[in-house]
Structure 1
Amino acid sequence: ATGEGTEIGDAVGIIAAQSIGEPGTQLTMRTFHTGGVAGADITHGLPRVVEIFEARNPKGAATLSEIGGRVEIEDSDRGPRVTVHPDALDESGEPLPEKEYQLPRRTRLLVTQGELVEPGDAFNEGSRSPTELLELRTKAQKGSTETELYLVGEVQKVYKSQGVDIHDKHIELIIRQMLKKVRVIEAGDTSLLPGELADKTKVDRENGKLKKKGEHATFEPLILGITKASLATESFLSAASFQETTKVLTDAAIEGKVDHLLGLKENVIIGKLIPAATGLKRYRQIDIGPSDSVPAHLYARPDTEAELLAALEEIGSVDGDGIDLEALGLTFGGAPQHDADGDGMPTESTEATEIPEIDSPLDEPSN
């Protein structure tokens, strides 16, 4: 990344992948554990980055609150027990049921007695599961912003621990691709199907066509690992070139998919100009020519040696600053004369002296 503003057509996804992948060579491949018996196992280094970008459930995951409310902590034989007393009321005006969580015996609590928590907050140390966090925050109608910020922060934590500085925008671009898909719950009056995996922008566009006349489609947000996100792309050519080629092409044939060749990979595969940088349609109609009109005769080449020498002599005759043909040993109809004495003056050409042949002992027949 150069730090400069991007232009339309820049391949920002490739830049982001390179900006994250190249410094990744400096990360350690080892998995460390926190000191002491009571500490939770926490993955560090490159395995932690892979764990985040593949949206896997982390080892030693923290327990997350499913509801918002006030915390009550009790000790038990099995370990600390956390009870959340919700402050909100249900539709009938009654208090919501409280929720109890049994935590492992040897764990460090992140909440205190009487603390107010929200859905998705962690009770104890450990990494939060991105899938669970997104689900809980969505139920609380908080959106996906907190999940995105958490993922960016976790990736930055790994790189900064190794002294590597990466701009947030590169990580945000990868996270955006992981969260771009949604699952349709109710299709409403749209052309979507229940259970369909679709881009969120496509669902919003379908709902926008209905305006207030029809029933809108409802959906739930999803978080996909970068491998699944690559296979779930709209282009079956791009997906087939990545993984599971036979399965991707078979599914595409069954569904009758059409590839509109909007991405880079699919255009490279069929040998077309990629729709990026100067390959964009907006640049294809540009005619390139000289800035000023140049007379046609200046592009003509001399037909004979005499014309070439005459042109060179004309150039050399301007105030004596050009090419001196005599110094070069060039004359009309003649050939360059070489300086044999090394004094800078042309010399007369002479015939080459014939070198006598010498009989070699190797030519004699062997006895």
Structure 2
Amino acid sequence: MLSSNNILSPASGRPITSPTQDMVLGIYFLTSKHAGLNGEGRAFSSTSEALMSFDLGSLHLQAQIKIRTAPGTVPPKGWVAPEGYEAGEAFTLETTLGRVLFNEALPSDYPFVDYDITKKNLGAIVNDLAERYPKVVVAQTLDALKSAGFYWATRAGVTISIEDVVTPPRKLEILEAYETRAEKVQSQYEKGLITDDERRQELIEIWTQATSEVAKEMEDNFPRTNPVWMMVYSGARGNMMQVRQIAGMRGLVANPKGEIIPRPIKSNFREGLSVLEYFISTHGARKGLADTALRTADSGYLTRRLVDVSQDVIIREEDCGTDRSLPVSIAEEINGKLTKLEHVETAVYSRTLAEDVVVNGTTVATADTDLGDVVIDALIAAGVHEVRVRSVLTCDAKIGSCAACYGRSLAAGKRVDVGEAVGIIAAQSIGEPGTQLTMRTFHTGGVDTGGDITHGLPRIVELFEARTPKGVAPISEAA
């Protein structure tokens, strides 16, 4: 049960342990690069020399410098080696001191990371580490990233105040232009040229455009060193939607029936809402709380039903010896380059190869190989478009499934053991995120929409119960 033994999620096989919040902000601050800073363009013979310069105040952490790396450093991907360079030698790199310090937290034989580290990039690095290194190394690296993140978040001194939330200067001008368009639509309706439904639809479209234009103007208006922008961009906390409500405009809201009110909230929280704007906002605020209470119960019930139907699916034997398998495509040509398909993550990753993959007489991967990231990348590099994989759907085991057809135990990162209750793991993996899904059915009040469109948890329940969706999308008949 020790946390260092449970780095991977049993639902996806990807790391569940990853730096968040302050750590992400600290690491983003450490690895970002800005022009025109103190010490830019200087060259240093070692990290220690650059650190001394930093401590003396003559070098900024984010200034671009030339630095000689320690022998044994693995160059960054895409680095062009100078003539006569041999692997393992020290080399000079154009980077920042911050990035050199960040790389000290990673294993010594990991390629040098030379780009801004956001939460997404950090997740990809941790993912890569979990795939290529033993658990002990991954745990040590996560610890080092945590320490570096907290230390530099403290040293960065990133704070936020209301002054950091800047309303775009062009906001009024943008709104006036859209107000003119909205008045035009209203007068067309009053003359009887358009129906009430068409008026609503057009107004919703106009104000949605206005909101996104104000939001874009607001984003462009933020300096890249603004603490609020840094928090959102790095993925440490919040998103642009929330910043838009504080600095841009709140935009359209729904009424208690779930229909969008065609008049927007033009103010933002920094300017303050008018009495009417405040009143129409209260519905959404209360609905959020009511939804959460209902969702918890519904999600628990779904998990219980899933466990009930899948509890007998247990790994009963090592290999059922079936000759059946499923063909799955892993890559396609895009602009003349073989690119990994998106569904590889869910359809191929962690399965077992059913037959040898041979390219030009060379065996790239043998049957019974566990398909991890390294093997999949090697297959794509060899020009393989499609592979045949074992699947629980084609398993010939009399009861439950066999280990070869099931593939990798996602929580352990290796072939599943006989006796593992994989049915219950699957049921709980689907049920667990249920509470985070939205409950709402959002009604657009449009002309062609066939009623409400079901989202979130109710839609998942519909899929499992194999019943006709409540809101069926209207599909035109072929001519």
TM-score by length of 2: 0.19
